Amino acid sequence: MAESEQFNFPSEEEKVLNFWKQIDAFQSCLRQSKDKPRYTFYDGPPFATGLPHYGHILAGTIKDIVTRFAHQNGYHVERRFGWDCHGLPIEYEIDKLLGIKGPDDVQKLGIKAYNDECRKIVMRYSSEWKIIVNRLGRWIDFDHDYKTLYPWYMESIWWVFKQLYAKGLVYHGYKVMPFSTACNTPLSNFESGQNYKDVNDPAVIASFPLDEDPNVKMIAWTTTPWTLPSNLALCVNAKFDYVKVRDHATDNVYIMMEARLSTLYKSEKEYTLLEKFTGDALQGKTYQPLFPYFESMKEQGAFVIYCDDYVTDDSGTGVVHQAPFFGEDDYRAALKFGVIKKGGKIVCPVDPSGKFTKEVPDFTGLYVKDADKLIIKKLKEAGRLVHQSVCKHSYPFCWRSDTPLIYKAVPSWFIRVEDIVDDLLKNNAKCYWVPEFVKEKRFYNWLKNACDWNFSRNRYWGTPIPLWVSEDMEEVVCIGSIDELEKLSGVRISDLHRENVDDITIPSKTGKGVLRRISEVFDCWFESGSMPYAQNHYPFENKENFEACFPADFIAEGIDQTRGWFYTLLVLSVALFDKPPYKNLIVNGLVLAADGRKMSKRLKNYPNPDLIISNYGADALRLYLINSPVVRGETLKFQERGVKEVIKDVFLPWLNAFRFLNQNIKQWELTSNTKFVFNENTFNGSSNSKDKWILSFTQSLNLFVRKEMKAYRLYTVIPRLVRYFDQLTNWYIRFNRKRIKGEVDQSSCHAALQTLYSVLYTINRLMASFTPFFTEYIHQNIRHWLATESIKDMNTDSVHFLMIPEVKENLIDHEIERSVARMQSVIELGRIIRDRKALPIKYPLPELVVIHKEKQYLDDVISLQDYILEELNVRELILSSEKEKYGIRLRAEPDNQTLGKRLKGSFKAVSAAIKELKDEDINELQKKGELSVCGNVVTTDEIKITYTVDKEHKVNETAYEAHSDNDVLVLINVTPDEAMLNEGLAREVVNRIQKLRKKAGLQPSNDVTVYYEASDASEENHNILKVIAEFRDYIENAIKQPITQGFVPSEDNIIIQDTAVKIKNYTIKLQIAKGHRN
């Protein structure tokens, strides 16, 4: 459990949730902003048939951050939750529940009964969704949500469709489509691309004897043996070379592509080359059917060889078997060469459940994938099987049922997307995407190659497509509203689902009897893509409101939606209005399990989100997710320890900073007998250089956050915000503890407290959108110190009612920020040197040398030398611009992994040469970014450059250790004298005393006396007693309590003791007793 001194982050968040509920925080925000400019946000609707996962949590967090930030910047932001209620996700669950195998089962049950079952589970997990969304701190309106099953939502879908139909963008066609046999329906091309998996499929090569000479056989390769009974043609590439060969093992004569001989033969010794020719020589030749089921089509021109460029030389035999009704290219080529004709016989002996029909009696009733083995057996028995193997390849699966898709020719309804591709590209260019590469590459390429959209589904639970047609399909009426349907049919309905509209007829105007509705429904992507209009019941209601706020200012979803919701939103918006539906869009990457695989309930390879939240809190989870590669559109391997580290690295330092402020304000109030008050309007900074720095640093951060959030770049904002707490606690507070605690003087203490309050108050508002719970906790505990006159026109009941603070440019001092940054660089380099040489900071060192060519840099360092000397515990700081004076030279080391992988055989020689590079060579490399070494060009990315001290070169017999960040060079004299070593020991003694006091639970205000003595009479232990005596004043000043040699005579006063305290090679006894000695 994440706790710090009884502070439990998750339980405190629960208290904040209750507080928000009490003050009706979210709705109060909306009421406060109702007259402000509108900021429009669209929420993509999830299905409530499953529980939210980390992908939902991530996208929801991004949406919450951006919309909260917009509110804090003076906008009115409506946030309505949406639910996807129709389509395959729901129907698939019902099919499993009721054991429904196909359309016949639904007809037996009845569409009304089937849809009633679907309706029951639509909102199965809605309460769980509400609980976890609220627990994550996301503010969104569930009470005024939209559901795609609402009649008013469905009516707007009808209106959208009628506009497209009126523009001639809708047509009925017969196309080979990805088909889900588990769901008995075709899918759109973008749906089929959402779930590819690597699978092992049978790969066979079958023979096709030519009619002109049955001893000569074409051989074709396929990984779908189940399509072979429907073979009607063979296809070759006219431009490639083909060969006739005699197989030595069987004496058979085969024709295949020359470039693909390796598919069948390992060696040229296995065959004899008889003839070579280009593919066009095979055009028009006929062959013997593989199976007898459709041999009657030979009279119509089937079982022929033709040429097409889609045949490649990178797989198979270079001869492609054609089953026109099970392959998109097959269908196109077969139509082109007259093997099949529009309106002619359809060779598609597979039903909607993926089972063979009676047209192929040998396999009737078998699921196609299950029939592969029997088909191969038949081929073998007929002497038509040439070769059999297994092929591992990437294959599309149904995104809902997770079962393999097949490609199958079906009659469907389409939107002419190909006709508006230029408009899609034009409007996409108007949108701002983060990250941009998704827009410029992934989405652009998808739009550029967009196919017509198959939007119809042969299903039941969905919005019915509002087309009423005559029996011959010649008369078609498109309905765009409930009123229009009533006007033409005389029937008024309030629910638009199939059970209510399927039996409604419309009289024909051309004497064709009555028109009946087509049976298909819209796919759920059409419904979600219509949400900008349908959630407002546009154009039937809210017309002016919608048109004033369209397109949306902001949307966000995962990268998988580039072929989903982002795409359908754009297609419909462009088709309707020639406008993009959104202005700004954030695309997040995918959250994977720690092992890099997809998160799986079955594998249990990820921690339950509820458990993570209950252990660490929602703020920690939010910050972990958004401070990761996913906000740049990359993947994140979810690690629980990452959430835990956010507590340690961000929230605990932040909490401690607040507690330190709180504790010392109270102490100041007690000492000065004055109430502490902070007035942001009148606060103009401090004259203290450390205060100036943190105030400037905070205001610069405010400026940066505003600028970057305006550009929706969370990936630049979050790291800067997170790093801020290191600057605040490890640099500002650490360097100012004595001032803040009042140990300097009251005036300086008050200035430091005002400064610390100012920056905490500022960062708290900046962080409110990102970590809504902890910022609320901080706000509730510091707001009582705000001056009444400074907040008279503000509602300070919640931090989320406050606006982002205006940037105080008068507090920004770029020079002091630059100086402190350079000071920090020097200190951090010095720390590295100490760590490398195992020299604890407690032990003083004689000298620090800072080398830089720029005078300004050295001036900045000298201006803050006191902090550098104190922090690194060195006696003297020397500045120089001459590294040669100290025997410093550059050293180059090859990056073995990077360079070795690229150079392979020549790596050894290049590696040796790199290690021998001179300073002038390395300087050239740094300047140009590359260098020629042994005839190979190497770059700075492939070489590690460090500084090294020439051991033979000494200045006044002093040995230095060096380190650099490729800007400044730092040297430390690492040979302390005896006095320095003794001072280090004294610091160690202070450290052990303080640890013992902490162990006893003592407070700084508790009066105690520290007693010490040697553990034995050895010479070594006698030496440390001399050190303690020598540095007694220093030790007493550090612990602010008296120390004395010898143990206390009365045990009654002993608080704690340790008789074996180790300090280096020494052992002493320590005892802490009540009160000060006389």
Residues annotated as catalytic are: 45, 84, 525, 561, 565, 598, 601
DSSP assigned state of 1000: T
Those residues whose C-beta lies under 8 Å from the C-beta of residue 934, and which sit 6 or more positions away, are 906, 909, 910, 913
201 CA to centre of own chain: 33
Determine phi and psi for 54, rounding to 5 degrees. Answer: -65, -30
Beta strands 636-637; 591-592: pairing state: parallel
Distance, CA of 696 to CA of 649 (rounded, Å): 23
Distance, CA of 702 to CA of 325 (rounded, Å): 62
Strand stretches in 421-507, DSSP E: 432-434, 453-454, 456-457, 467-469, 476-478, 505-507
Distance, CA of 153 to CA of 538 (rounded, Å): 9
Q: 657 and 753 in contact (C-beta within 8 Å)? A: no
Which DSSP string corresponds to 924-970? HHHHHSEEEETTEEEEGGGEEEEEEE-TT--BTTB-EEEEE-SS-EE
b vs e for 156-193, b when ≥16 Cβ sit within 10 Å of the residue's Cβ? bbbbbbbbbbeeebbeeeebbbbbbbbbbbbbbbbbbb
Beta strands 874-880; 845-851: pairing state: parallel
Distance, CA of 117 to CA of 414 (rounded, Å): 29
Q: Nearest to residue 1056, comparing CAs of 1016, 999, 1005?
A: 999
Distance, CA of 639 to CA of 592 (rounded, Å): 9
Indicate the SS3 state at residue 422: helix
Which DSSP string corresponds to 247-270? ETTT--EEEEEGGGGGGT-SSGGG
b vs e for 974-986, b when ≥16 Cβ sit within 10 Å of the residue's Cβ? bebeeebebbbbb
Which secondary-structure segment (H or E) carries 22?
Answer: helix 9-23
Token pair 């190979």 is found at 936
Which DSSP string corresponds to 542-564? -HHHHHHS-SEEEEEEEGGGGGT
Those residues whose C-beta lies under 8 Å from the C-beta of residue 487, and which sit 6 or more positions away, are none
Which DSSP string corresponds to 458-477? S-SSSPBP-EEE-TTS-SEE
For the chain, report the end-to-end CA distance as a whole number of angstroms: 46
Q: Mark out the alpha helices in 593-745 (DSSP H runs).
A: 609-616, 618-626, 640-646, 652-672, 689-710, 714-726, 734-740
Indicate the SS3 state at residue 235: strand
